[in-house]
Amino acid sequence: MAADTGFIPVRPQPPVKRGSLISVIRTVRDNVIAAWGQEAYERAHIQYRMLLRRILLANDPAIIRHVMLDNWGNYPRDPLGQRILEPGLGNGLLTSSGADWKRQRRMLAPIFSPRRVQAFGPLMVECAAALGNRLHNGAPVDMADAMMHATLDIIARSMFGADADTDVSAVGAAMDAYQVTVRPGVADLIGLPEWFPRPGAAKGRAALAAMDAIINDLIGRRRKAIANGRPAGDDMLGLLLAARDEEGDGTGLNDAEIRDQMATFFLAGHETTATALAWCWYLLAHDTAVESRLHAEIDAVLPGRDPVWGDMEKLPYTRMVIEEAMRLYPPAHSTSRVALADDRIGDLTIKAGTAVIISPWLMHRHKLYWKNPERFDPENFSPTASAARPRFVYLPFGAGPRICIGMGFAMAEAVLILATLARRFRFRMAQGAVVTPIAKITLRPQPGLPMVAQSR
């Protein structure tokens, strides 16, 4: 039932007491956010061991700043996270480290410059409007699935604009299979050596076979066209093929490197935005006061038309709704680093080898930093509230040098899609629908988001 104010959205209830090691491992494998006890939402940091692994849960913005910014070179990505992502993403920007990561970041930064992102704005609106044209009053729709298809269409056409006739639906299916297949195993969670067999990696690579076939075919076709005198193109594939390390040795990316970047773009540029938007529709369906204010802003700015790029600065409340949805349901719900050398932050000692867990899911709902952490309230992102909030409390795109390179693309996409569809429709939960957040690689609603479209 919709409420006018103070909606408290669904989340897994913290366990009353810590279970056995086996039960904790099983919970972490299936839904990591369900494993956190109430103390994780209340304390600044917690240190514990899971057999061979020494773990620090960092809920203090000073610790997070130190790990992700001030001394970030001492805290590379945790091998556990690498083992989950590398089978699918290879050695792309999200998984690489050291000098290789710096080279990739330099080469990819121009692709996500404000000028480049703005050029994709009309495509974002076109794909959202196409979805709206397929809906009608009273139509049942799984909005999680609809957002996946819309953002897949956008990222595919952004990446392969010159080859837009390619059917990339298999890419979305491969990403779904990958999320189900790849998860941390017992060997990972208790800290067994890397040589210990881990069958999940092979399953993850198999799940993405169809995606790899599509990507490799597109790379080969584009390389052949370039060899025949055709320009590389100004879509993302063309930009990747043309990229050079001007500050380094002047080399470009080879086919394997381009494949890894494209797989990364698919996951980070399609999955995360779709998930954030799905949670927006869930939250709006349960709070008519917020929804009415959103509609009032959209109606004032967009009288009878879809948005254009210049409208985004006139839609501050629309952006606030998205930011609040990402607070309550951050698509990238957790990350971890591992200390290379002993370190000290104030009175806290961090031993070499310690896994430092930074969880946006916890930080965004933490009692130390939010007045009503469980309540849906876009006013958390008013200019006044945002200015008063400490840095490193809100982390939907990470922080420090490794902050998401596609943040501008993702926020523009989310604002334009939300405004385009909310101008035409409101969405209500299907009767009897029960939704639960499940933390796989991203934080998805399960079993989807069954809703009904209502024309405005």
Residue-wise pLDDT for 83-117, tens only, equals: 667 767 788 888 888 889 999 999 999 999 999 99
Give the span between the Cα atoms of 277 and 279, in whole angstroms: 5
pLDDT at residue number 1: 37
Average of pLDDT values for 439-453? 93
Q: Which helix (H) or strand (E) holds 203?
A: helix 200-207
Instruction: Give the CA count within 13 Å in the CB-facing half-sphere of 324.
Output: 30
Domain count across the chain = 1
Asked, for residue 16, whether it belongs to a domain, the answer is: no
pLDDT at residue number 197: 56
What is the b/e burial string over 392-412, where b = at least 16 CB atoms within 10 angstroms of the residue's CB?
bbbbbbbbbebebbbebbbbb
Q: Which residues pair with 141 in a beta bridge?
A: 451
Torsion of CA 360, 362, 368, 374, to 10 degrees: 110
Q: Could you tell me the two tokens for 3? A: 């409420």
The distance in angstroms from the start CA to the end CA of the chain is 19
pTM, entire model: 0.91
Q: For residue 67, which of 314, 334, 392 has the smallest C-alpha distance?
A: 392
Task: Please state, for a pLDDT cut of 70, what percent of the chain lies above it.
Answer: 88
Residue 58 and residue 362 in contact, taking contact as beta carbons nearer than 8 Å: no
**Continuous H helices in 268-389:** 272-285, 288-301, 316-328, 360-363, 383-388
Asked, for residue 59, whether it belongs to a domain, the answer is: yes
Helices and strands, counts by H and E, the chain: 19, 11
Asked, for residue 178, whether it belongs to a domain, the answer is: yes
pLDDT at residue number 2: 41
pLDDT at residue number 3: 42
CA dist 107 → 122, 164, 250, 262 (Å): 25, 24, 10, 14
Asked, for residue 254, whether it belongs to a domain, the answer is: yes
Asked, for residue 210, whether it belongs to a domain, the answer is: yes
Residue 436 vs residue 233, higher pLDDT: 436
Q: What is the mean pLDDT of the chain?
A: 88
Q: For residue 262, which of 202, 217, 200 has the smallest C-alpha distance?
A: 217
User: In the 8-state DSSP scheme, what is residue 447?
Assistant: S
Instruction: State pLDDT tens for residues 40-66.
Output: 999 999 998 877 789 999 999 999 999
Instruction: Tell me, rounded to whole angstroms, the distance of Cα 186 from its chain centroid.
Output: 25
| Domain CATH for 302 | 1.10.630.10
Which domain covers residue 323, as residue numbers? 21-455
Report which listed range, 179-183, 185-189, 383-387, is most confident: 383-387
Asked, for residue 10, whether it belongs to a domain, the answer is: no
Average of pLDDT values for 399-409? 93
Instruction: State pLDDT tens for residues 274-317.
Output: 999 999 999 999 999 999 999 999 999 999 999 999 999 999 99
Torsion of CA 261, 265, 266, 272, to 10 degrees: 140
Asked, for residue 36, whether it belongs to a domain, the answer is: yes
Task: Say whether pLDDT at 4 is over 50.
Answer: no
Residues 6+ apart with CB under 8 A from 59: 40, 43, 44, 45, 46, 359, 362, 363, 366, 368
Residue 412 and residue 388 in contact, taking contact as beta carbons nearer than 8 Å: no
Where in 111-174 does DSSP place strands (E)?
140-142
